[in-house]
Amino acid sequence: MTSVQESRTLHAPMKVEFDYTRSLGPVLSQFMTGLRRRQVTGGVLSDGTVVVPPPEYDPTTHRAISEIVAVGDEGVVRTWSWVAEPVMDQPLDKPFAFALIQLDGADAPLLHAVDVDSPADMETGMRVRVRWAEETVGAITDIACFEPLPSSTDAGSELPNEPGSDAEAVTGIVSPVRLAYDYAASPEESKFFRGLAEGRILGQRCPSCHKVYVPPRGACPVDGVPTTDEVELPDKGTVTTYCIVNVPFLGQKITPPYVSAYVLLDGADIAFLHLILDTEADEVRMGMRVEAVWKPRDEWGTTIENISHFRPTGEPDADYETYKQHL
Amino acid sequence: MAVRDVAVVGFAQRQMKEMDGSPTCVEILVPIFAELFEQTGWTKSDIDFWCSGSSDYLAGRSFSFVSAVDAIGALPPVNESHVEMDAAWALYEAWVKIQIGEIDTALVYGFGKSSAGVLRRTLAMQLDPYTMTPLWPDTVSIAGLQARQGLEQGLWDERALAEVSSRSRTSASDNEYAIRKGATTVEDVLAEEVYADPLRRSDCAPVSDGAAAIVLSTAEAPGFDKLSGRAAWITGFEHRTDSITLGTRDLTRSPSAALAGSAAGSQDVDTAELHAPFSHQELILRRELGLGDDVTVNPSGGALSGNPMFASGLIRIGEAARRIWSGESSRALGHATSGPALQQNLVCVMEGRS
């Protein structure tokens, strides 16, 4: 995290990314396979109307949709709105229009983008045509966007158009989701991390039950009141409980076996999780006295990683009575 | 129809443009809960059930609703639940729990830090994940599609939209929590440039952070006598949903709002707090809920004056209840919406009793 002087709290950019892998049922599978072959399709409802994209179930009879038909790749704009400031991952990265477009042969419009330079180039009722992506994979983004047709070509699109028709059937899609945030720590967490940048461990005491929380929280989870009083804690404590990590996993930084432990700092009422190193894993035990091993000062930031790990102090083990309520 | 009489007996809120703090919103929930205990004279032990509405997608903190429970002081453990919808739906869950006789009282809260991300983009996560979300249709663009249909069909014009936004901003002048407020004329709004054609910025609710909470009680609750008569009795509470598919809906209408409204008894209210994040949506809701010109709409300024996601619908119910407590209204409704272009709608009708 980087410190922002004018801000009460610490902020850092945060990205959350995940590729959702989704299987397709029979209806959407046909729709996506069609797109891959550069052919738009719709579903025929019980009243005979054609809806694009095809719904999986009829909205009136609730029966599964079974009839899928090809529609044109040209159509009419039924309504539109101007995207003056596009956001990440939209079909176009310059200003464009979103529109509901009724394709020739369809009775309900499809939501997609229209590539024009200005809102003055958009009009309800105008004709547009699919601009296919260079490579089609079986996704709604195979339609890169729509583009206006000159008004002289009002004849309507041919049905069906000429697709690359032997592309493999599509049974699933991968939808990448990328979200970006300005992530802020709470005021209490911010004090904690700023303290760490100075080599100090700061907790806070509940004014009601007098328990000391580290890292400090916005409110005492017992009393629901803000933990207002700052308490500086030593970097020594007691192992209350621990586990030996034997299983390798993606991103693991230490070679197993090693120990993750709850360390109850002297004077604190809540233990926090850290590593116990500089000893054999099978030497670690409940009640073991440990101390923080700090990284070199020039590597410190506003992060818990300033403490590399904890190691045994060599003191006699703590009496069980001193930590039993934390188990 | 409801079996047990339930009243809104407490309401507190905070709204701000940008909250400089953690997405768990604990620091604003703590004073909100304290304010509710002051209003009711109750303590934590008077609350049988806690229910919240929030979404981790807003600010990217996983399980923020679990961290938010710290604000309750949940030890010993409390009876608690959560919905990933506006807290108005959490209020509905609590009301149902009271109806089936499990509890007598509930504290319901919603919170969100919309400013942490790009809200209009984040909300594309609620669309159909196969054919819509991959295009990232933002909330403002979807609202624009809806607004233009009404404009081109002659259901409303730019002036009608400007009347909604200028009236909202003017009404919000007295609302200490409102973000966008102050005396504004129709001409002021029309002089603004068009931003997301056909919408002006004034037609769109401001991105807002905040939280709100409501206390529900039955007349039989042990703490009811402490309440000094502050009660807005719920006479109807309903919600309905339309299709997620924009292409098969007439976007100028909202059948789900009409159904929820008629089932809840929206027709004969004197005051309505409508959750309309875009000015034309207020016009759709007025029509669907059967609200005549004599109904006072959004005396708080409504969502156009402040729209903290996941709390804004609950705030509408709280603002309506407040008018009943004060005697300004004898029968009022609070409305909440969720999903694209008024897809889901909830109506809570309340009345005062002497």
What residues of A are in contact with residue B44 (Cβ under 8 Å)?
224
In a domain, A218, yes or no: yes
Judged by CB atoms closer than 8 Å, whether chains meet at B137 and A14 is answered as no
pLDDT at res. A253: 87
If you measure CA to CA, which chain A residue comes closest to B242?
A: A59
Q: Between A162 and A112, name the one with better pLDDT.
A: A112
Selected residue of B197, B209, B241, B252 to mutate for chain A interface (largest A Cβ count, 10 A): B197
- Are A33 and A148 contained in the same domain? yes
Selected residue of A24, A87, A110 to mutate for chain B interface (largest B Cβ count, 10 A): A87
Ranking A162-166, A315-319, B226-230 by mean pLDDT, the lowest is: A162-166
**Contact (Cβ atoms closer than 8 angstroms) between residue B110 and residue B90:** yes
pLDDT digits (tens, 9 = 90+) for A151-169: 665 555 555 445 556 778 9
Judged by CB atoms closer than 8 Å, whether chains meet at B60 and A179 is answered as yes
Sort strands B80-83 and B49-53 into parallel, antiparallel or unpaired. Answer: parallel
**3-state DSSP assignment of residue B78:** coil
Q: Quick one: chain A helix, strand, coil %, rounded to 5? A: 15, 35, 50
pLDDT digits (tens, 9 = 90+) for B64-86: 899 899 999 988 899 999 999 99
pLDDT at res. A156: 56
Given a cut of 90, whether residue B61 has pLDDT beyond it is: no
- Are A239 and A189 contained in the same domain? yes
pLDDT at res. A5: 52
Q: If you search the block for the tokens 């190193």, which residue do you land on?
A: A277
If you measure CA to CA, which chain B residue comes closest to A108?
A: B247
Given a cut of 70, whether residue B159 has pLDDT beyond it is: yes
Q: Is B129 on the interface with A (CB under 8 A)?
A: yes
Judged by CB atoms closer than 8 Å, whether chains meet at A83 and B138 is answered as yes
Q: Is B38 on the interface with A (CB under 8 A)?
A: no
pLDDT at res. B229: 76
- Are A87 and A196 contained in the same domain? no
Is B292 exposed, middle or buried (CB count within 10 Å of its CB: 0-12, 13-18, 19+)? Answer: exposed
Sort strands B296-297 and B271-273 into parallel, antiparallel or unpaired. Answer: parallel
- Are A192 and A115 contained in the same domain? no
Judged by CB atoms closer than 8 Å, whether chains meet at A221 and B245 is answered as no
Q: Is A55 on the interface with B (CB under 8 A)?
A: yes
Mean pLDDT of A6-20: 90
- Are A240 and A102 contained in the same domain? no
The CATH H-level (homologous superfamily) assignment of domain B6-118+207-226 is Thiolase/Chalcone synthase (3.40.47.10)
What residues of A are in contact with residue B195 (Cβ under 8 Å)?
84
Distance CA A304, CA B11 (A): 39
Judged by CB atoms closer than 8 Å, whether chains meet at B122 and A221 is answered as no
What residues of A are in contact with residue B118 (Cβ under 8 Å)?
87-88, 180
What residues of A are in contact with residue B146 (Cβ under 8 Å)?
79
Distance CA B208, CA A177 (A): 23
In a domain, A15, yes or no: no
- Are A173 and A193 contained in the same domain? no
pLDDT at res. A157: 55
- Are A208 and A311 contained in the same domain? yes
> Mean pLDDT over all residues of chain A?
92
pLDDT digits (tens, 9 = 90+) for B171-199: 999 999 999 999 999 999 999 999 999 99
Which of A150, A177, A204 terminates a domain? The answer is A177
Question: Min CA distance, B302 vs chain A (Å)?
Answer: 24
Given a cut of 70, whether residue A313 has pLDDT beyond it is: yes
Distance CA A204, CA A213 (A): 5
**Contact (Cβ atoms closer than 8 angstroms) between residue B91 and residue B214:** yes
What residues of A are in contact with residue B42 (Cβ under 8 Å)?
none
Q: Where are the domains of chain B?
A: 6-118+207-226
What residues of B are in contact with residue A173 (Cβ under 8 Å)?
130
Judged by CB atoms closer than 8 Å, whether chains meet at A225 and B246 is answered as no
Given a cut of 80, whether residue B354 has pLDDT beyond it is: no
If you measure CA to CA, which chain B residue comes closest to A13?
A: B116
Judged by CB atoms closer than 8 Å, whether chains meet at B60 and A183 is answered as yes
Q: Which of residues 240-259 of B touch A (CB under 8 A)?
A: 243, 245-248, 251
- Are A295 and A171 contained in the same domain? no
In a domain, A9, yes or no: no
Mean pLDDT of B118-133: 96
What residues of B are in contact with residue A218 (Cβ under 8 Å)?
22, 24, 26-27, 30, 70-71
- Are A113 and A162 contained in the same domain? yes
What is the distance in angstroms between the CA of the first residue and the CA of the last residue of chain B?
Answer: 22
Candidate from A7, A222, A226 with C-beta closest to B75: A222
Q: Is A166 on the interface with B (CB under 8 A)?
A: no
What residues of A are in contact with residue B148 (Cβ under 8 Å)?
79-81, 124
Amino acid identity of residue B138, one-letter, is: D
Question: Min CA distance, A218 vs chain B (Å)?
Answer: 6
- Are A136 and A235 contained in the same domain? no
Amino acid identity of residue A281, one-letter, is: A
pTM to 2 decimals? 0.94
ipTM of this predicted structure: 0.95
Judged by CB atoms closer than 8 Å, whether chains meet at B246 and A100 is answered as yes
What residues of B are in contact with residue A124 (Cβ under 8 Å)?
148, 152
Given a cut of 80, whether residue B340 has pLDDT beyond it is: yes
Question: Min CA distance, B329 vs chain A (Å)?
Answer: 35
Given a cut of 60, whether residue A2 has pLDDT beyond it is: no
Judged by CB atoms closer than 8 Å, whether chains meet at B20 and A8 is answered as yes
Q: Is B153 on the interface with A (CB under 8 A)?
A: no
Domain that holds residue A54: 20-177
Q: If you search the block for the tokens 């089936």, which residue do you land on?
A: B100
- Are A249 and A305 contained in the same domain? yes
Candidate from A52, A88, A98 with C-beta closest to B141: A98
Secondary structure letter of residue B21 according to DSSP: S
- Are A173 and A31 contained in the same domain? yes
Ranking A173-177, B166-170, B254-258 by mean pLDDT, the lowest is: A173-177
Q: Is B64 on the interface with A (CB under 8 A)?
A: no
Question: Min CA distance, A9 vs chain B (Å)?
Answer: 6
Q: Is A80 on the interface with B (CB under 8 A)?
A: yes
Mean pLDDT of A250-262: 91
pLDDT digits (tens, 9 = 90+) for B285-326: 999 999 999 999 999 999 999 999 999 999 999 999 999 999
Which of A129, A152, A177 terminates a domain? The answer is A177
- Please list the alpha-helical segments (H only) found in chain B: 26-40, 64-68, 87-99, 119-122, 139-152, 158-171, 186-190, 255-264, 279-288, 312-326
Q: How many domains does chain A have?
A: 2
- pLDDT above 90 covers a percentage of chain A that reads 84
